[in-house]
């Protein structure tokens, strides 16, 4: 029986992992900041080494892109320092760390999907601190899988899906940016992929960086249209607009499409199209 520590267990991905963990014969230990402060190196060491953990799945992250520009210290503690704590504890315990990262490590000015060998160039604090977290993992020497994802949404927490469901129900007209392109990624699909890798033990000897998102490509405008249509919010007219009409504290990547070839080939992962997964998520949301 494996012992698996999941951090950030109250977030979107962690909540999806919690549902899957309940079906396993392995021992999953779900923690968030109330149970384990991952910025406390000694607490992390005790949890991992004394707890005889075999696999750590790090779902914790500081993800508020705009606020990170004003509070780099906090973003750095969670996205870099805490990740280093987990990585060093994993190395000491001979455990494997599965760390979730982001497309924001890229500049977003490409015209073809980013693979794992593409040059990184983050545009702001969030991307820089996430990339620094990846470096902490690599420098620790621990056995690790770094999985970059993009445009995550789910039934849980605050995300684009829930915002669009609320706004398209309340308003007759809405504008959404059309000049940012990527792939909406259902947290349930990413959680299932991580869960299957852990349950099968397929992570052993396959360390490295991987990319995961759903299949297909769209803009935020397209995604908003699909959400409204699926919810039956036909009274709301959704119109396209430029990113410049919604200025933010940091530039968003204009192109967030990831190449999933490596993870599909290495682990035999089957990945559904984002529109199929949206339907699944909406159904699950109604059943909560």
Rounded to whole angstroms, what are the CA distances from 113 to 103, 107, 108, 123, 214?
11, 12, 10, 18, 13
What are the φ and ψ backbone dihedral angles of 15, each rounded to 5 degrees? -65, -40
Alpha-carbon torsion (189, 191, 192, 197), positive or negative: positive
Could you report the per-residue pLDDT of 202-256, keeping only the tens digit for each? 999 999 999 999 999 999 999 999 999 999 999 999 999 999 888 788 889 999 9
Return the ∠ at Cα 274 (arms to 264 and 283), rounded to 5°.
120
Residue 247 pLDDT = 78
Residue 250 pLDDT = 86
Alpha-carbon torsion (217, 209, 253, 170), positive or negative: positive
92 band by pLDDT with thresholds 50, 70 and 90: very high
User: What six digits make up the tokens of 269?
Assistant: 């992962």
Residue 143 pLDDT = 98
Residue 240 pLDDT = 97
Average pLDDT of the residues of the chain: 96
In the chain, the DSSP E strands lie at 3-7, 27-30, 55-58, 96-102, 143-149, 152-153, 173-177, 181-182, 185-186, 208-211, 218-219, 237-241, 255-256
Query: Looking at the DSSP assignment, which residues form a beta bridge with residue 148?
Result: 101, 211
Contact present, 58 and 99 (Cβ < 8 Å): yes
Mean pLDDT score, 60-67: 95
pTM here?
A: 0.96
List b or e across 29-59, with b for residues whose CB sees 16 or more CB atoms inside 10 angstroms.
bbbbeeebebbebeebbebbeebebbbbbbb
> Cα separation of 153 and 159, whole Å?
6
To which H or E segment does residue 167 belong? helix 160-170
User: What six digits make up the tokens of 263?
Assistant: 């993870």
Is the pLDDT assigned to residue 87 strictly greater than 80? yes
Concerning whether 126 is annotated as a catalytic residue, the answer is: yes
Could you report the per-residue pLDDT of 151-209, keeping only the tens digit for each? 999 999 999 999 999 999 999 999 999 999 999 999 999 999 999 999 999 999 999 99
Residue 249 pLDDT = 81
Question: Domain-by-domain residue ranges, the chain?
Answer: 3-159+184-216+256-272
Right CATH number for 3-159+184-216+256-272 from 3.40.50.720, 3.40.640.10, 3.40.1390.10, 3.40.228.10?
A: 3.40.50.720
Q: Which of 28, 104, 114, 126 does the annotation list as catalytic?
A: 126
DSSP single-letter state for residue 159: -
**What Rg, from alpha-carbon coordinates, does the chain have?**
19
Is the pLDDT assigned to residue 288 strictly greater than 90? no
Mean pLDDT score, 86-105: 98
> Cα separation of 154 and 139, whole Å?
32
Mean pLDDT score, 51-60: 98
Above pLDDT 90, what percent of the chain? Answer: 95
């Amino acid at each position: 029986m494996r012992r698996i520590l999941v951090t950030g267990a109250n977030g979107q991905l962690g909540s999806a992992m919690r549902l899957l963990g309940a079906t396993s014969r392995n021992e999953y230990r779900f923690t968030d900041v109330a149970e384990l402060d991952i910025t406390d190196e000694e607490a992390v060491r005790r949890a991992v080494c004394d707890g005889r953990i075999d696999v750590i799945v790090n779902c914790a992250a500081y993800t508020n892109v705009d606020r990170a520009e004003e509070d780099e210290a906090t973003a750095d503690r969670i996205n870099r320092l805490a990740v280093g704590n987990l990585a060093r504890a994993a190395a000491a315990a001979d455990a494997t760390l599965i760390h979730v990262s982001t497309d924001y490590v890229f500049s977003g000015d490409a015209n073809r999907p980013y693979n794992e060998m593409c040059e990184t160039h983050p545009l702001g604090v969030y991307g820089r601190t996430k990339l620094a977290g990846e470096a902490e993992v690599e420098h620790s020497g621990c056995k690790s899988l770094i999985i970059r994802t993009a445009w995550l949404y789910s039934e849980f927490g605050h995300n684009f899906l829930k915002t669009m469901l609320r706004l398209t129900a309340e308003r007759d007209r809405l504008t959404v940016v059309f000049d940012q392109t990527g792939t909406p990624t259902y947290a349930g699909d990413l959680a299932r992929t991580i869960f299957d890798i852990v349950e099968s033990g397929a992570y052993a000897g396959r360390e490295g960086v991987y990319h995961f998102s759903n299949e297909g490509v769209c803009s935020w405008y397209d995604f908003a249209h699909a959400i409204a249509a699926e919810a039956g919010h036909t009274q709301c007219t959704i119109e396209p607009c430029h990113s410049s009409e919604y200025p933010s504290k940091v530039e968003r990547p204009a192109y967030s499409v990831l190449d999933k070839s490596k993870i599909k080939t290495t682990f035999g992962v089957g990945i559904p199209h984002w529109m199929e997964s949206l339907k699944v998520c909406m159904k699950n949301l109604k059943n909560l």
